[in-house]
Structure 1
Amino acid sequence: MAIKPKILIVEDEISIARGLTDLFIFHGFDVVCEQDGQQGLTTALSNKFDCILLDVMLPSMDGFSVCNAIRTASREQPIVMLTAKSSEEDIINGLTLGADDYIAKPFSVQELVLRVKTILRRTGWHQDKDRLNLGDDITIDSENLTGTVRGEENIFTRREIDILTYLHQHKRPVPRTELLTNVWGYAKPSLIDTRTVDIHIAKLRKKIEVNCKNPQLLVTFRGEGYKLIV
């Protein structure tokens, strides 16, 4: 019997929780569902999940706090935040705390399943090499999600390493939509209103640049995209 991917859904609205549970069971997932933030965190930390769907508004402990606690315990655990459609602040907070992706309510169930499957599929470019060298003074261990930046140890998320690896492999400015397609797996990135790429690039610059306000390694080419200069 094939092993099913295991997903944890933390959602307090009963109708949504039931709908998501049925949806992912239909698509071949082993589903665990919690409706309380604290209980969701306990379940997340005491089991192994291939992905966690995490609502922002939860009783006893909000989704941001849950995300932060999960990310503190595991840098590699895939987390997708479910946010209010109009709340850009929620999106920024979730991504800053380490969520891999977000999807706004009300959402397309087809898009949600696609986004989760894309995360699980992990297109594989980060597996080509365990070590990524960005010049003489930056070395990143893509397996252990750590790096040495000018002699100092730093921690990276899987998504950050995916971005760096993709940019490193493509010796040209890479458009934002291309990153959304090939790193995040969005089917129609031009139709998506998201600051996902911007936020991750800003986080990476803080980690690898001498001066993140005047980047020399991860450079923006206006009208063309981002290029890694090493």
Structure 2
Amino acid sequence: MTHSKARILIVEDDTAILKGLCDVLVFNGYAVDGIDDGLKGCETALSGQYDLIILDVMLPGMDGLSICRKVRKRMPTQPVIILTAKGSEDDVVAGFSAGADDYVSKPFSLRELMVRVEAVLRRSGKSMGEEKINVGKILFDSLNLQAVYQDRKEPLTRREIDLVAYLYRNRERIVSKAELLAEVWRYKDPHVETRTVDIHVLKLRKKISVLTDGKALIETVRGEGYRLEPDH
């Protein structure tokens, strides 16, 4: 996918931010449409004509998280980035729960925006490869996007499946946050400041803990990164 062919939809009700985003992305070679209303933005997003959709959380008519859920239900592989208020971790977690691929916090730098856009576009359609993998007694099913343990099931996002798969393939060692950003999230600059990995790991641990009555599976090695716990 080249920049000249990639189409991006931005749904943002702040006129200045919308114009600025459109200008920056057009300057970088993307074809961009901007919409300032949630209902119209949702209808346009569901057209399936875009390589990436950028959604503000707070929108008139319909909020960005609701749009994201509708898009994800109809188009499971559609790349989506959400825009959040600075420091609003609840919005970030809610965005990932709705199916967003990444987030950008306001105010943001143009460099940060382009890093996120390029990374999401590069990794769109990327999945873990294996249809199913077993980690201990948990089955991670990439076709049905779920984790299965005994008679319990827990829905997972595509990114959560990819994260487990990468840690599984490298289970004999610690995997750094920068490596996960480069290999799973496909960031060109994996040292960019972001809590994306931390939030995904936190959410994934909670889901696994629900299945296993408290066994989180993924271990954090302070200052080093993450690894699958060796006794599971």
If the length of structure 1 is used for normalisation, what is the TM-score?
Answer: 0.82
Task: Tell me the alpha carbon deviations over residues 193-221 of structure 1, each in whole angstroms, 9 at most, x when there is no partner.
Answer: x4422321233234444336332x32333
**2:16 is matched with which residue?**
15
State the AA in 1 paired with 2:189.
A
Tell me, yes or no, if the aligned pair for 1:173 and 1:224 is still in contact at 8 Å: yes
State the AA in 1 paired with 2:158.
R
If the length of structure 2 is used for normalisation, what is the TM-score?
Answer: 0.81
**1:46 is matched with which residue?**
47
**1:199 is matched with which residue?**
199
**1:32 is matched with which residue?**
33
CA distance in 2, matches of 1:93, 1:128: 27
**2:109 is matched with which residue?**
108
Does 2:227 match 1:224? no
State the AA in 2 paired with 1:117.
E
Q: Is the alpha carbon distance of 1:162 and 1:35 closer, same or farther for their aligned partners in structure 2, counting shifts above 3 Å? A: same
CA distance in 2, matches of 1:152, 1:73: 25
State the AA in 1 paired with 2:166.
Y
CA distance in 1, matches of 2:160, 2:154: 12
**2:165 is matched with which residue?**
165
CA distance in 2, matches of 1:212, 1:186: 38
What pairs up with 1:75-86 in 2 under 5 angstroms? 75-86=76-87
Q: What SS class does the counterpart of residue 31 from structure 1 fall into?
A: strand
Q: What SS class does the counterpart of residue 95 from structure 1 fall into?
A: helix
> Could you list the runs of 5+ residues in structure 1 that have no partner in the other structure?
none
Root-mean-square deviation (CA, aligned residues, Å) is 2.8
Instruction: Give the superposition deviation at 1:147.
Output: 5.2
CA distance in 2, matches of 1:223, 1:107: 26
Match of 1:187 among 181, 186, 189: 189
State the AA in 1 paired with 2:111.
Q
Aligned-residue identity in percent: 45
Q: What SS class does the counterpart of residue 46 from structure 2 fall into?
A: helix
State the AA in 1 paired with 2:23.
D
CA distance in 1, matches of 2:124, 2:62: 33
